[in-house]
Amino acid sequence: MIAPIKDIVQAERARNTSFNEASARTRLALLLDGGSLVEFIGPEAREVSPHLKTFDLPEQYDDGIIVGHGRLEGAPVFVAAQEGRFMGGAFGEVHGAKLTGLLHAARRIGSIPVLILFDTGGVRLQEANAGELAIAEIMRAMIEARAAGVKVIGLIGGRSGCYGGGGLIAGCCSALAVSEPGRIAVSGPEVIETNRGVEEFDSRDRALVWRTMGGKHRRLLGAADVFADDTVQDFREAALELLELLGPVGTFGLDRLKAEHERLAERLRRFGRCEDAVDIWTAEGVAHAATVPELPADQFIALANRIGRTSRDAR
Amino acid sequence: MEDLSFQHRVRGRAGGTRQNAIVGVVASGNLEVLVERVLPDAECVVDIRTAAMGFGEIWSAVIGDFVERYSPGGLKFSINDGGARPDTVSLRLAQAVRSIAENGQ
Amino acid sequence: MTLDDILASLFPGGHEIRHDDGIIAGSATLRSGGKVLVIGIANRTALGVDEAIRLSGHLLDSIDKGSGPILVLVDSDSQRMSKRDELLGLNEFLAHLAKVLIHADMRGRPTIGLLYGHSAAGALLATGLATRVLVGLPGAEPAVMDLPSMAKVTKLSMAALEEKAKSTPVFAPGLSNLEQMGAVHMTWSDAVSLAEQLEALLGDMPAVQDRRGALGKERGGRLKAADIAERVRDLALQIR
C-alpha cells in the first residue's frame, strides 16, 4: 500500500528537522502521526507556575512541558515533552505534576506506553522544594506504572540534556534512546567544577563533557538501549524500535532489579578504575577508541550494535 | 515584569477555523504568543507581560503595524515576553495569525 | 542526636546495625518482636556509585527473606559530584536504589525514611524521598538547594532571598519547609522514646499510595500540584 502523501511530507519534514534544535511542540508534532496529538491542560488553560512571580520572572503558559495523547504508527501512546529553552526545562510544581498525572493514568490503563522527551537541567531553583518533590513523585508514579505493565520510554537529545533529578527519572524508564548531543548525568559540568575545582572537571572542555556524559558513552555503557541520529524521524524510529524490543520483556519486578544490580555491580568491577571514557571504551574492546567521538552516526550505531551493552531486561 | 494591553478596531475577521494556537518559547530574547478566537469580529486585543521594562511605545508601534497589516479581527493575543527584539515580536505575531488561520480544532 | 543515640532510642533491646565509611546496614528487632531492616547513610557522606550499590545490595540480599518494615536513616551530603561517578552512570545507581526501595514498599515491606541530619538533591531523591513515609527529627537540615548557590544563579542577594523565604516554603532549605510541601510527613520529638514513636507509626501506617501531593495541599505548601496531577489523570483516562 502506498502511504498517503501527507504522511510522506511529514516524514520528510521529520527527517530534515534536528531534534536538538526543535522546540518541544515541533518535536511532538513530527514524532507522532500527523495531527494526532491531544494535549491535556494546554497553554490556553494558562496553568502557569505560581512561584515565578515571586522572583519577577516571566511565566510560560504550559510551564515548559506538554503532556498528552497521540498515535505512533496508529497505536496509542501517552507523551510528555519538556521545553529545554524555558527555564532550562527544569522541574517546577506545575511542570512536574502534569507528568505525575499522566503516569497515574497510564498505570490505571496499563496497556498504553508513555514516551518522555526529556530536555531538562533538573530542579527549578526558584521552586526547588516543589521541583525536587515533583521528581520524587514522578519516580514513584513511574515505578508503579511499570509494575502495572506500562512501558515507559525516554528520548534524550535536547539542548538542556537530562540532568539532575531528570537523570534519576531517566534511570527509572523501561528503556532510553539517546543522540550524541543528549547528555545524561546527575551533576552538570559546571556543578562539578564549582564544587570540586577545574582540575576535577573543566566544564569548558566540551569534548570532555561529551565523552563523559554524552549519548555515545551512554550507549556503549548500556545506560541507553538505542542511539539515534539527531533528527526527529530518527527518534520516531527509535521509539518504534524500543516499543517492539520491549514487547517480549516481562513486567518490572524483583528479578529485573536483581539483574540491574548485577549489571551495575559488574560495571563498577570492570570500569571502576578507569580515568576517562576512552579507557572504558578501550576496555570494552573498541579499537581506536579515541576516534569514537568523531564517528558518524551510522558507523557508531554499527559499532554499538556489535559491542555496546543493552539493559532491556536489567533496568 | 511589566503588563501592557492594546485594543484595536480592525477591518475584518481573521481567516481559518482553529480556536487557538501557540507559537514561540519564553526565553531570553524570545517570546510566546497564545492566540485565541474569542472576540467580536471587529476587535483585536493584545495583552503583554514582558521582562523588559519601559518599552511601551515600541510595543505600541509594533502592534499598530501588525494590526494594520494582518487585520486580525476576533483574535486575542496573549504574550509572555522574555525580552525579545521588535523584529522577533513581529515574526511571532505573524506566525500566530498563520497558525490560527489553518483549519481544524 | 548522634546516630548512636538514635539507634539506642529506636532499638533499646539492641540491634545488629553496622556503620562504616558512612554506610549504615543491618537489622534490629522491634519491641513487638518483629524484624526491621535498616539501611542508611551517615556522617554527611556523599552518595556516589559505591555507596549506592552497597545500599541496594544490602536491600536486595534481605528483601525476599523476611517481611517487616524497612527503615532508611539519612544524614548525607548531596550526590557525589565527581567525574568518576558521572562517568560510571551515577544517575542509574541512584535510580536503582530508589527503585529497590519503591518496589519493596509496593510488595509488602513498608518503607520509612528518618531524616536526622543533612541531605540534598540526588541523595535525598534516592533515599528519604523514595520511602512511603519520611519522618524528620528536630535538628535535621535538608537543603534541596543551598541559598548561596541560589543567590549566584538568581543574582539576588542573600538578604533578598531570606526575605522571600519568609513568605513561601517553596525554595528555601529546612525541615519545616519540606514538611509544608508534603515531602516530610511528620516530625518526631527527640524528648520521647523513638521506639515508641516508631511503633506508633507502624501501627498506623498510611496505605501504599503517594500522599505527598494531598499533604502539600492540606498544609498550604503546594496548592497546585495535587489538582494539576488529578486533572491530567482524569483527562487522560477519558481518551479511550
pLDDT at residue A271 tops 60: yes
Kindly list the residues from chain C whose CB atom is less than 8 angstroms away from the CB atom of residue A309: none
Q: What is the mean pLDDT of residues B91-99?
A: 97
Between vectors from CA A141 to CA A135 and to CA A143, what angle results, nearest 5°? 105
**Which three three-digit cell numbers place residue C138?**
528536630
**Do residue A23 and residue B1 have CB atoms under 8 angstroms apart?**
no
pLDDT, position A76: 97
Q: Which among B51, B78, B104 is the nearest to A58, CB-wise?
A: B51
Give the span between the Cα atoms of C23 and C26, in whole angstroms. 10
Between vectors from CA A85 to CA A136 and to CA A55, what angle results, nearest 5°? 70
Q: Is B36 left (phi over 0), alpha (psi -120 to 50) or beta?
A: beta
- Residue B11: is it exposed, middle or buried by C-beta count within 10 angstroms (0-12/13-18/19+)? exposed
* All chains having 3 or more CB pairs closer than 8 angstroms to chain B: A
* Residue of chain B whose alpha carbon sits nearest to that of A54: B1
* Residue of chain B whose alpha carbon sits nearest to that of A66: B22
Give the span between the Cα atoms of A294 and C66, in whole angstroms. 51
Quickly list H helices, A4-47.
Answer: 5-15, 24-31
Predicted-assembly ipTM surpassing the 0.90 threshold = yes
Q: Percentage of chain A with pLDDT > 90?
A: 91
> Of residues A162 and A2, which shows the higher confidence score?
A162
pLDDT at residue A1 tops 60: no
Nearest-CA distance from C10 to chain A in Å?
27
What separation in angstroms does the CA of A144 have from each of A138, A172, C90, C237? 10, 11, 22, 16
Across the strands, what pairs with B11?
Answer: none
Q: Which among C64, C79, C145 is the nearest to A128, CB-wise?
A: C145
The 10s digit of each residue's pLDDT in B48-81 is 999 999 999 999 999 999 999 999 999 999 999 9
- Residue A143: is it exposed, middle or buried by C-beta count within 10 angstroms (0-12/13-18/19+)? buried
The 10s digit of each residue's pLDDT in B13-54 is 999 989 999 999 999 999 999 999 999 999 999 999 999 999
- Residue C34: is it exposed, middle or buried by C-beta count within 10 angstroms (0-12/13-18/19+)? middle
Q: Note if the pTM is more than 0.90.
A: yes
Q: What is the largest CA-CA distance in chain A?
A: 60
Kindly list the residues from chain A whose CB atom is less than 8 angstroms away from the CB atom of residue B36: 44
pLDDT at residue C207 tops 80: yes
For chains A and B, what is the number of CB pairs under 8 angstroms? 46
**Do residue A167 and residue C60 have CB atoms under 8 angstroms apart?**
no
For chain C, count helices (H), then strands (E): 11, 9
**Which three three-digit cell numbers place residue A273?**
578504575
pLDDT at residue A2 tops 70: no
Kindly list the residues from chain B whose CB atom is less than 8 angstroms away from the CB atom of residue A85: 25, 27, 30
Distance, C-alpha A279 to centroid of its chain: 25
Weakest mean pLDDT among A1-15, A131-145, C86-100: A1-15
**Do residue A58 and residue B26 have CB atoms under 8 angstroms apart?**
yes
pLDDT, position C152: 81
Asked whether B and C share 3 or more beta-carbon pairs under 8 angstroms, the answer is no
Give the span between the Cα atoms of B19 and B38, in whole angstroms. 8
